[in-house]
Amino acid sequence: MDFIETAIFQVKPTKVDQFEDILQEFHRFASSNKYLAHYKVMKRTHRIADQETVKKGTPAKKLTRVVKSVKYVMHLEFENETDHGLFTRDFFEAFDKEIARCLLVPHDKLIGVKK
């Protein structure tokens, strides 16, 4: 069974550089963590203009300004729930306080099994 977590981070505009430094540390942490099978991190850089552009296949528009926050998505994959729990423990010990200082609101998590 594949167990997946997707976390959404809304970073304060003044803390983007600090958050990206933390992400560099996270990459080193993740690559050496035995519980994590795979991960990706994305910074939101584009948006969909409207439903008509989707129907026409028009490319997404590049974001030109920061309104309230800069959004990042972290996608994590594990072999099972136990590995997820152990990784989450290690992650919180290493990064929770540093990340929390960068966020506008607490990060949102979506957790479940792969279908």
pTM here? 0.90
The 10s digit of each residue's pLDDT in 19-74 is: 999 999 999 999 999 999 999 999 999 998 888 888 888 888 899 888 899 999 99
Domain range list for the chain: 3-113
CATH code of the domain made up of 3-113: 3.30.70.100
Instruction: Report strand pairing: 61-62 vs 3-11.
Output: unpaired
The tokens describing 78, both together, are 């594990």
User: How large is the angle between the packed helices 16-32 and 81-102, nearest 10 degrees?
Assistant: 160
- Mean pLDDT over residues 72-88, rounded? 97
- Rounded Cα distance between 31 and 87, Å, is 12
> For residue 50, which phi and psi values (nearest 5 degrees)?
-165, 175
Residue 64 or 99, more confident: 99
